[in-house]
Structures are given as structure tokens and as C-alpha cells.
Chain A
Amino acid sequence: IAGITQAPTSQILAAGRRMTLRCTQDMRHNAMYWYRQDLGLGLRLIHYSNTAGTTGKGEVPDGYSVSRANTDDFPLTLASAVPSQTSVYFCASSDSVRDTGELFFGEGSRLTVL
């Protein structure tokens, strides 16, 4: 089934540990995004990539890094997790940055940092 796959679905992590959230899409979409969703707040963009080999910072990039080595994969790394990074993380992709911009989301990764 075509779509976006995220892993892990959920994770409990000790503060200070390194964590990588994986995201893979098989729709050959150029643009990919990482969002975090917190109660009472809108989705906030962490990092994005308009095409393979390029990345950019979103609204809340501090403490996170991404890479886009190929079209399909867009991992998000927390170098040293802190409790404020407890959130639900969504990976998303779109066919084009400037068209209708419809985003296709993964099922989310629920991360708890203790």
C-alpha cells in the first residue's frame, strides 16, 4: 500500500539520549516535512526538504536535525533528547511545494522524554 511509514510508533526515552525517527515514503514525492503536534497548539514545522539533497529549517528546528540522502527517506534525529521534546511527531510528504500542497501524513511517532 502506497504511503508514508514512520517508525517507531511510540518510544519512551531517557533525557540526554540520541534518537532517530524514521520516515519512508513510496509515492516519489519531492517534498517532505517533519511536524510536531502538542496539545492546544497547531502543527509546528521542524524541518523540511523540497527535494532530495536539500533541507531547510522550519518554525522549531532547535535540537533536531534531518537528512535527505534520497527521495524516499527523511529521518529526524534528536541529538540529545530533552523533556520538552515530548510530543507526537508526524512526517508528511507532498508532490510539489507550490501546487495544491496537499500533504500526506504518516501515522505519527509518539515520543516521551523522561
Chain B
Amino acid sequence: GQNIDQPTEMTATEGAIVQINCTYQTSGFNGLFWYQQHAGEAPTFLSYNVLDGLEEKGRFSSFLSRSKGYSYLLLKELQMKDSASYLCAVMDSNYQLIWGAGTKLIIKP
């Protein structure tokens, strides 16, 4: 079966760095996505990786290793507004998105 694993919850301190991991087993691979979802709101797109390596976008970076079935989202200089759930999703061989359950990130002052 297809599976996306990510930690349920993480806690970090304002101003610090946090890494949210995602491992996947899917039928084929056509890219990996990270979305941010604030409580009670809709998910919003953060990043897309289809090739191995690091993609940097401001304070957020996303890394992919296809051979290991592994990705991480790196958040730097954490701000209180970064408190949210972070969803990892993989596009399989049928171009369907398979979603992880999300990682709830709690930022403490």
C-alpha cells in the first residue's frame, strides 16, 4: 500500500530552526509537496520537489532524496505565526496526491 509518514507533533522555540521529516512509500513518484495549514483554515502551498536536493524559499527550505523515499521541511528563524500543521504529499504514478496526516508544529516564545 501507499504510505506517508511524518511526526504527529513537534515543539520549537521562537527564533530557532526546526526540521520536519517525511518518509514515503508510493506507487511511482511524480513529485513531493509541502503545504501549511493553520488551524481552521485551508492548506496553502509551500514547496514542490521532484529532483533530489534542496530547494530554498526564504525562511523555508525543502529537501528530497528519492532513493531514500525521504524529504524534510526546514523552517528557520521561527516566528509565532509559523505555528500550524505541515502536510507532506506525494504525487504517485497516476498523478494522484497521497497525503500524510500532517505535523502539528507548536512554537513557544
A102:B48 contact, CB within 8 angstroms: yes
**Across the interface, which residues of B come within 8 angstroms of A12, CB to CB?**
none
Q: Is the CB of A103 within 8 A of B101?
A: no
CA distance A48 to B30 in the complex (A): 18
B11-19, B38-46, B66-74 - the one binding chain A:
B38-46
Provide the main secondary structure of the chain B interface: strand
- Given A42-B98, A58-B96, A101–B91 Cβ distance below 8 Å? yes
Quick check: A42 and B101 within 8 Å, CB to CB? yes
Q: Is the interface of A mostly helix, strand, loop or mixed?
A: loop
Binding site for B on A (CB under 8 A): 40-45, 48, 58, 90, 97-98, 100-108
Give the A-binding residues of B (Cβ under 8 A).
Answer: 4, 30-31, 33, 35, 41-45, 48, 87, 89, 91, 95-102
Known: A41-B101, A101-B31, A101-B48; 14 extra A-B contacts, CB below 8 A, are: A42-B4, A42-B89, A42-B98, A42-B99, A43-B99, A98-B95, A101-B33, A101-B91, A101-B95, A102-B45, A102-B48, A104-B45, A105-B42, A108-B41
